[in-house]
Amino acid sequence: MELYLLTGYNGFYGQSRKPWVSLSTPTLIKELRGCGLTVHTADWHDLASGSFNPRDSNILYTFSQLTHIRAWLKDQLHFLAEHNRLIPSLPLLLCHENKGYAWLYQKSKGIDTPRAWYLCDPRDIPPDLPYPIVLKTISGTNARGVFLCRGHQELLDRIKALAPAISPAVKLDHLRRRYLRGGRTYPGYPGFEPKRDADDWLQYMRPGAAFLLQEYISGLDCNYRVIAIGSKFYLMRRLTKSGDFRASGTKRFDFEAAPPAGLLDYARSIAQSFDTPFLSLDIGHKGGENYLFEFQASHFGTAAIVRSQGYYRRVSGSWEFCKGSSSLEQTMAEGLAEYLRGQVN
């Protein structure tokens, strides 16, 4: 089975310890070939020049947290997806660093708890919104841009603070339009009143920000990071700090916690629904119920793999813990090979 590995410059394949730290790409290629895959390589130079243009191929691609590269890469991969199989898939690529799209995607798969609302204007906030509510910026990691709002006015204030202020240049142009312009007419268009037109223009130019509102699940002192790589499921518990509802970004990890009943089955059902060999899930568990807070299919933290004492695998209808350390490159290669051969159960 053939595979194209699309890396960044200098063979970069993210991520390892941090977003700017590459996996060992030579080791990854070696492990992929050891799993019986025929591996071809290309990088962003080839993508930019147009020399990388495969058809009917499997493409495992790297990604980047840098905004300009991320946007460029999404555009390029969008067209490659027309004639190839992207790993992860194009919809999962579009979910990356876009919590709004990610919510729409998971909802389309029937995963709609906790409830959420993807909005671009405070005027669209539901009148019956349950408070407290979690406000999230569309991008951001380690709990940056995540706020708990206990009432409507606090929510409005937080949303307003997400958008940048009107620039001095725009304010000056507003004054020019309002007081220095005379009435104008254009063939086929009615005349307009300069002051009102200037005010309408200012309202149009006013910066805004899309945002996600997510139902608050109270009483949690942790959430669970589950990383599904092929048929292997790695688990760590992430603890909150006193007085803070967020577990992400605290760096308080428990790698020996046992999963609550039903949590791994829940994670497995999501991985199967999303159809991907790599998936990181942030799951809350309360009263026997599971809640998907966020997920990533590329460029996610890997501590649950490299620092764990083992992984879980489903054997004969039950979960079995397999003790031992894991190599990131070997784990990814084996998981991808299982996925391509349809061996993930």
Note the pLDDT tens digit of each residue in 209-256.
999 999 999 999 999 999 999 999 999 999 988 878 877 767 788 999
Does residue 52 have a pLDDT over 80?
yes
How far separated are the first and last CA of the chain, in Å rounded? 20
Cα–Cα dist 216/236, whole Å? 22
CATH number of 219-340: 3.30.470.20
Burial (0-12, 13-18, 19+ Cβ within 10 Å), 97:
buried
Q: Residue 7: what are its φ and ψ, rounded to 5°? A: -105, 175
- The DSSP symbol for 124 reads G
Instruction: Return the exposure string of 284-315: e unless at least 16 CB atoms fall within 10 Å of the residue's CB, then b.
Output: bbeeeebbbbbbbbbbbbbbbbeebebbbeee
Map residue 45 onto helix, strand or coil: helix
- Tens-place pLDDT, residues 89-106: 999 999 999 999 999 999
Map residue 74 onto helix, strand or coil: helix
**Encoding tokens for residue 296?**
């990533």
Angle, helices 25-34/328-340, rounded to nearest 10 degrees: 40
CATH number of 2-87: 3.40.50
Domain ranges of the chain: 2-87, 168-207, 219-340
Other Cβ atoms within 10 Å of 269 Cβ, number: 14
Does residue 314 have a pLDDT over 70?
yes
Mean pLDDT score, 171-195: 82
pTM, two decimal places: 0.91
- Contact at 8 Å (CB) between 264 and 212? no
Residue 19: which of 59, 60, 69, 58 has the closest Cα? 69
Residue 272: which of 285, 261, 281 has the closest Cα? 281
- Tens-place pLDDT, residues 247-281: 776 778 899 999 999 999 999 999 999 999 999 99
Does residue 76 have a pLDDT over 80?
yes
Cα–Cα dist 170/198, whole Å? 11
**Encoding tokens for residue 306?**
């490299």
Mean pLDDT score, 57-85: 95
**Encoding tokens for residue 199?**
């005010």
Amino acid identity of residue 150, one-letter, is: R
139-143 long-range contacts, CB within 8 A, separation 24+ = 139/97, 139/98, 139/99, 141/248, 141/249, 142/248, 142/249, 143/246, 143/247, 143/248, 143/249, 143/250
